[in-house]
């Protein structure tokens, strides 16, 4: 469904993403993990059209979408959320989600109904009239999800929707993500919360310093020496020796 | 707005009735003041649609105003057009200038204060051009021959120009109201609130911004023609002077940028101050040399609004929760 080949993106002298490839098949939940600064968000941004890649290509459902504008990629059925939440602060949750719903309809009532339906899917049914600015971190993460979902995507790119949440909230959002997949949406997610990744994703990619260093089931990844090295590094080796 | 919805219709009906009856009850001088209120609210609304709803703050909206004023005046004076026919052409010209400025500045990725400054620069360029090219008659300005007949877009009785200003204002309010309930308007607000999120959610930010500036430019140009027909004289500093830009921005900000009635409320407040200070300067000798006193009051008011009422006077009617810092 999504095919990323040898994607590279540099900022000045820094190679943020260096020849990364990945595949997402229809119906999967795929995790993308990696230490801080590994280039995960940059890779996401390059896939979703926010950065034009320096090299490599991205194909979505067999169609080359490399460097296409984000709004076109969204209209094609692939939408991203932001790690740093970007709510429309001065308008209500309902209006926030309606912006997503307006992608496929110009009718206000229809968009409103759609927004309310999506809100209850992500557990925001009771917060429709709150302003975007007044949400808690958990609320903002859900709003990111809801807005993206309202555009009716076939592939959802989730950038750390669980960062900053407490265990209860994480449990809730894991359920929400499962439901979304059950409804037929394929999901690629960046995540730091390992417990969530292992419980959600069938396959995991590991990015380190811009390079894809491993791919496999969560169990395979957890025992991969290269991955352990990348995460724990020399300091940990010393601790283990002591 | 936080007005109970059952009050809205009666409130609106009373307002309209009062506005229609007003010129029949007051002397001509006050009719003209009322006309100015609606006229300023109208051009303020043209600013508000781009600056308030879509967040594309312009410091040079007068460029559209002047384009409209000069287009209809040149067509009329030089080519003998009927001003009513020249009016839509003036609007089209204003829209075209809006389109051009939008394409040039948004293609270049200008945002926020950079966009504001480039609009200011465009307005100044147009003012200098109007001062130097032959077909505007330069700094001499252009005089429209007085011929007060309605079919000539000139009225002997100020009541008619008052009603015309009222209609313009009402139409602009309808346009703004439509924005609050349409997809186009929702997208503009999304762009104002967060451009990246808007792009991610499938909005063609560039196209929407170009559209809104074209619409805003056409509306503002309609105000330019109206002004020229009312005063029958324009010159480069009237048509392209910075003060008109400031006025449009000010009435929107004072009344409440991005709200439907903000420019009207702001216009009532500012025109009131304008007339009030003029009267005050006339009777208090100490104030005679503070010219114009209204600017001093404007300044104070703007400071108060920015510091205390970021949502403008409309904020007084509406409960808006305090902004929370971003996570």
B325 occurs within a structural domain? no
Neighbours of A118 (CB within 10 A): 23
Strand partners, A134: none
CATH label of the domain that carries residue B237: 1.10.3470
8 A C-beta contact, residue B144 and residue B233: yes
B324 occurs within a structural domain? no
pLDDT tops 80 at residue A193: no
Which residues in chain B are contacts of A95 at CB distance < 8 A? 186, 189
8 A C-beta contact, residue A41 and residue B200: no
Opening angle at CA B316, ends B310 and B322, nearest 5: 50
List the single best residue of A99, A133, A134, A154 to mutate versus B (max B Cβ within 10 A): A99
- Euclidean distance between CA atoms B17 and A12, whole angstroms: 64
pLDDT confidence band for B8 (50 / 70 / 90): confident
Average pLDDT over all residues of chain B: 91
**For chain A, percent of residues with pLDDT exceeding 90:** 74
pLDDT mean over B105-115: 93
8 A C-beta contact, residue A116 and residue A68: no
pLDDT digits (tens, 9 = 90+) for A17-27: 999 999 999 99
3-state helix vs strand vs coil in chain A, percent to 5: 45, 25, 30
* A91/B201 touch (CB, cutoff 8 Å), yes or no: no
pLDDT digits (tens, 9 = 90+) for B128-185: 999 999 999 988 999 999 989 999 999 999 999 999 999 999 999 999 999 999 999 9
- Euclidean distance between CA atoms A239 and A233, whole angstroms: 10
Question: What is the total residue count of chain B?
Answer: 327
pLDDT tops 90 at residue B96: yes
What is the CATH class of A2-241? alpha beta
B121 occurs within a structural domain? yes
8 A C-beta contact, residue B132 and residue B231: no
**pLDDT of amino acid A60:** 95
- DSSP β-ladder status, A2-11 and A55-60: antiparallel
Structure tokens, B93? 């010209």
Say what the pTM is. Answer: 0.90
**pLDDT of amino acid B322:** 46
**For chain B, percent of residues with pLDDT exceeding 90:** 75
B322 occurs within a structural domain? no
User: Residue ranges of the domains in chain A?
Assistant: 2-241
**pLDDT of amino acid A234:** 57
pLDDT tops 50 at residue B324: no
- DSSP β-ladder status, A2-11 and A14-24: antiparallel
* Stretch among A45-54, B4-13, B107-116, B296-305 having the lowest mean pLDDT: B296-305
- The answer for residues whose C-beta is within 8 angstroms of residue B310's C-beta and 6 or more apart is none
What is the residue range of B125's domain?
Answer: 5-317
Give the chain A residue whose CA is nearest to the CA of B208: A71
Q: Exposed (0-12), middle (13-18) or buried (19+): which is A239, by Cβ within 10 Å?
A: exposed
pLDDT tops 70 at residue A238: no
B179 touches chain A (CB under 8 A): no
What do you get for the CA distance between the two ends of chain A, in Å? Answer: 47
- Euclidean distance between CA atoms A81 and A192, whole angstroms: 15
B200 touches chain A (CB under 8 A): yes
- The answer for residues whose C-beta is within 8 angstroms of residue A157's C-beta and 6 or more apart is A44, A47, A48, A78, A79, A80, A81, A188, A189
Structure tokens, B152? 């000539």
Q: How far is A4 from chain B (nearest CA, A)?
A: 19
Residue showing tokens 């969530």: A196
- Euclidean distance between CA atoms B279 and B221, whole angstroms: 31
- Reply yes or no: is the peptide bond before residue B180 cis, omega within 30 of 0: no
Q: How far is B325 from chain A (nearest CA, A)?
A: 8
* Number of domains chain B contains: 1
ipTM: 0.89
- Euclidean distance between CA atoms B90 and B69, whole angstroms: 7
- Euclidean distance between CA atoms B119 and A161, whole angstroms: 40
């Amino acid at each position: 469904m999504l095919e990323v080949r040898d994607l590279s993106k540099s900022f000045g002298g820094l190679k943020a993403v260096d020849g990364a490839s990945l595949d997402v098949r229809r119906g999967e939940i795929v995790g993308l993990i990696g230490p801080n600064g590994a280039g995960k968000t940059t890779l996401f941004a390059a896939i979703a059209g926010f950065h034009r890649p320096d090299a490599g290509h991205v194909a979505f459902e067999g169609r080359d979408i490399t460097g296409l504008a984000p709004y076109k990629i969204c209209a094609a059925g692939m939408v991203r959320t932001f790690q740093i939440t970007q709510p429309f602060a001065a308008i209500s949750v309902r209006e926030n989600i309606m912006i997503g719903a307006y992608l496929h309809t110009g009718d206000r009532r229809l968009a409103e109904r759609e927004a309310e339906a999506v809100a209850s899917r992500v557990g925001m049914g009771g917060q429709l009239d709150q302003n975007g600015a007044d949400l808690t971190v958990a609320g903002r993460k859900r709003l990111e999800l809801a807005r993206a979902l309202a555009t009716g995507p076939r592939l959802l790119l989730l950038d750390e929707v669980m960062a900053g949440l407490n265990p209860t909230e994480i449990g809730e959002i894991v359920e929400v993500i499962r439901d979304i997949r059950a409804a037929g949406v394929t999901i690629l997610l960046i995540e730091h919360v390992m417990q969530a990744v292992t419980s959600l994703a069938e396959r995991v990619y590991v990015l380190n310093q811009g390079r894809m260093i491993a791919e496999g089931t969560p169990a395979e990844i957890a025992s991969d020496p290269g991955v352990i090295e990348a995460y724990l590094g020399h300091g940990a080796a010393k601790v283990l020796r002591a | 707005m936080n007005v109970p919805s059952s009050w809205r219709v009666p409130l609106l009906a009373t307002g309209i009735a009062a506005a229609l009856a007003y010129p029949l009850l007051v002397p001509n001088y006050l009719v003209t003041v009322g006309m100015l209120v609606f006229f300023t609210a109208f051009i303020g609304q043209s600013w508000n649609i781009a600056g308030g709803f879509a967040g594309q703050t312009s410091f040079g909206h007068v460029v559209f105003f002047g384009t409209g004023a000069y287009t209809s005046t040149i067509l009329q004076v030089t080519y003998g057009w009927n001003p009513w026919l020249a009016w839509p052409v003036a609007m089209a010209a204003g829209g075209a200038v809006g389109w051009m400025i939008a394409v040039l500045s948004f293609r270049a990725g200008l945002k926020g204060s950079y966009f504001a400054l480039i609009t200011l620069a465009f307005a100044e360029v147009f003012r200098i051009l109007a001062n130097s090219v032959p077909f505007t008659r330069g700094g001499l300005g252009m005089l429209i021959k007085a011929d007060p007949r309605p079919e000539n877009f000139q009225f002997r009785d100020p009541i008619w120009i008052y009603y015309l200003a009222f209609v313009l204002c009402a139409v602009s309010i309808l346009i703004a109201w439509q924005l609050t309930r349409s997809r186009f308007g929702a997208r503009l607000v999304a762009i104002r609130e967060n451009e990246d999120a808007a792009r991610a959610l499938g909005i063609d930010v560039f196209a929407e911004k170009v559209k809104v500036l074209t619409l805003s430019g056409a509306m503002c140009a309609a105000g330019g023609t109206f002004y020229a027909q009312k005063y029958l004289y324009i010159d480069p500093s009237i048509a392209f002077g910075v003060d008109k830009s400031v006025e449009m921005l000010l009435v929107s900000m004072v009344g409440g940028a991005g709200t439907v009635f903000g420019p009207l409320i702001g216009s009532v407040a500012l025109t009131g101050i304008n007339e009030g200070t003029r009267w005050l300067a006339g009777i208090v000798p100490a104030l005679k040399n503070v010219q114009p006193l209204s600017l001093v009051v404007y300044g104070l008011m703007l400071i108060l609004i920015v510091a205390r009422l970021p949502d403008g006077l409309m904020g007084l009617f509406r409960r808006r929760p305090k902004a929370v810092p971003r996570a």
